[in-house]
Chains A and B, each alone.
Chain A
Amino acid sequence: MSILSVEDIGKTFGGLKALISVSFSVKQGEIYGIIGPNGSGKTTLINCITGFIRPDTGKVYFRGTNIRGWPAHKIARAGIARTFQVMRPYYSLPAYKNLIIPLWSPRARTIGGWRGGGRHGDRDTVAVDILEEIGFERDSRVPYKMASTLPTGYLKRLELARCIALRPEIIFCDEVFSGLSASEVAGLMPLIEKLKMEGITLIMVEHRLKELFKVADRIMALQFGEKIAEGHYREVIADARVKEAYLGSEEV
C-alpha cells in the first residue's frame, strides 16, 4: 500500500513554472528514484513535499493524512526526513555531536524509547551507535573526529545519519551520490540496502543513473516540472521523451 501519495503538485516562482501537476505514489519499503535533467524541478519537489516551500496546488498524503501546508519541522516529526544537496554539517563539532539535534527532537525522544528527553550522556551513546551502524569505525575513533576533518564520503553518510537519527519512515535523498567516487558510492550501497531491510522507504533524487538503477525499484522522470515517465528503469530509459530530455532529439 502506498505510504506517500502526491497529487497534482504545482509551484510557480514568479514567471517560472517549477512544477506542473506532478503526481506519484510510493509504496512502503520501496526505493523510488526521481531523475531528470537540471532544472526539471526535482529539488523543488522535495522542498514542497517536506514543507520547506509551500506548493501552490496539490495534495500530499502521508499514510492517508494530508500533510500539505505543514511546516517543515512538523513533517519531520511525522516521520519524513530529507538530506540537503548542499551539506552543512557543524564543522566545529565532532561527528557524533552532529546527531544530537535530531536526537533531541520530540520524535526521536518518543520513538527512540526514552521519554522526557534522555540525559546528555544517553544521547551521546546513541549517536555513536548510529554512526557505528552506518560504517564509522568506532575503534579508529572516527565518530569522535571533528566533522571538518572527514572526507566527503563520510560527510554524506553523516548527512544520512542525521536522517536516521530521526527514526523516519521515509527518507528523501537529494543527490546523495553526487561528489563521490565510484568506490565511495559502492561503500554507500550496503547502507542503502540496510535501510531498505529495516523497512524505511527511500525516495532518491539522482543524477548518477547507473548507480541509482542498481537499487531503485521504480523510477520517475521529470522534465521542466512535469512527469514524463514512470516505471521500472528499463521502461523509463527506453521512453522516447526521456531520451530526448537527456540526449536531445535528432535534427533532421
Chain B
Amino acid sequence: MDILVYGIINSVTLSLLSLGFTLVYSISRLPNFAHGALYITTGYFIWLFLNSLGLGYPLAVMLGIAPAGLIGALMYRLVLIRIRGMEISEIIATYAIGLAIIEGLRWGGLRGTTFTLPSFASGFRDILGVNVDDQRLLVVGVGFSVFALLYLFVRLTRNGLALRGIAQDERAAMMLGIDSDRMAVVSFAIGSSLAGLSAALILPLGNIVVEAGYNVLLFSIAVSVIGGLGSWAGAIIASFVIGFAQILTEKFLSSHFQMVIALLAIIITLLIKPSGILGRQKELEERV
C-alpha cells in the first residue's frame, strides 16, 4: 500500500518537473536544456527574497517564480529567435545558457547544503494507512490542479488553442495567422514558470543544492523521451511509469538506483519504441 501512495507522490512530482520541458518542446521543437537551471534559479530567488529581503513566504514564492519565467522568455526572445532552424546551434545555445546559470549560481553562493526553504505545510497525515507529510500531499494536490488548469487552458482559451495548433503543425498554424514566435515565447514562459513552480513545491522537502539542477534536467529529459517528445499526455504517463519503477527499486533494491532507472528506461525506449509511449512516428525520421 505504501508503494501505491509513494508511487503516486513520486510520479506527480516527476510530472510537475517534466511538464515544462515537454511543453516547450511540443511548441517550438526546442529541447530546453536550461530547464534544470531554471528550477534552481527559482529556488535561489525564493531563498533570496525570503532571507535577504525578509518578504513574506507567499510573496517570495510568487516573486521567485517570476525570474524563471522571465529568463525563459528572454532566452527565446533574445537568443534562440536568431538561430531558429539551425538545429546544432539551438541545442548548443540552450545547453550553454543552462550551464552558465547553474555554474553561475554555484559560484555566486549556492554552495554547500545550508540553504533550505521552509515547507508550506508542516505536519503529517494518514493516507490509506501510510504516514505522509503534508508538504508532499501539497505537491500532489498542486500537481493535479496544474494538469487540470493546463488542460482547460489549452481547450478553452485562444492562446491555448494557438499552442495546440502549433504543436500539431507549425506551418498550418502560421498560415492561419498564429505568430509562432510569440507563441514560442509564451510557451517558454509557461514552461519555465512550471519549472519554477515545481521548485517552489519540491525544494522545501530537502536542501537547495545546485546539483539538483542537473538531476532535474535528466529526469525531465527521461520522462519526455519515454513519453514521446512533444506529447503532454505521454509525459504524464511516462512519469507514472518511472515514478513507480523508482519506488519499487527503492523498496526492493536500494535508493541509489533512481538515476540508473531513468537511464535504463531511456535506453529501453530507444531500442523498442523510439518514438516513446505516445509519440508520433513523424518525430523520429528526418523529413523526406
**A residues bordering B, Cβ < 8 Å?**
47, 52-53
Contacts and interface: CB of A to CB of B under 8 A. Distances in A.
3 contacts: A47-B288, A52-B288, A53-B288
B252 to A, nearest CB: 40
B188 to A, nearest CB: 27
Nearest to B280: A14
A47 B285 CA distance: 13
Interface string B264-288: 0000000000000000000000001
A47 B288 CA distance: 8
Contacts of A47: 288
A53 B288 CA distance: 9
Contacts of B288: 47, 52-53
B35 to A, nearest CB: 29
Main SS class of interface, A? loop
Q: For chain B, give the interface size range.
A: under 10
Nearest to A85: B288
A179 B214 CA distance: 52
Contacts of A53: 288
Nearest to A54: B281
Interface in B94-147: none
A52 B288 CA distance: 7
Interface in B196-247: none
B281 to A, nearest CB: 8
Nearest to B282: A13
B278 to A, nearest CB: 14
Nearest to A46: B288
A65 to B, nearest CB: 24
A94 B233 CA distance: 49
B165 to A, nearest CB: 15
Nearest to A47: B288
Contacts of A52: 288
Nearest to B288: A52
B147 to A, nearest CB: 25
A161 to B, nearest CB: 21
A67 to B, nearest CB: 18
B112 to A, nearest CB: 52
A13 to B, nearest CB: 8
A71 B176 CA distance: 36
A12 to B, nearest CB: 12
A233 to B, nearest CB: 29
A53 B282 CA distance: 10
A47 B286 CA distance: 14
B66 to A, nearest CB: 39
Interface in B10-35: none
Shortest 3 CB-CB distances between A and B: which pairs? A52-B288, A47-B288, A53-B288
A47 B287 CA distance: 12
Nearest to B168: A14
A14 to B, nearest CB: 8
A53 B281 CA distance: 11
Nearest to B281: A54
A105 B145 CA distance: 56
A53 B285 CA distance: 10
Nearest to A84: B288
Nearest to A52: B288
Nearest to A53: B288
B174 to A, nearest CB: 19
Nearest to A14: B280
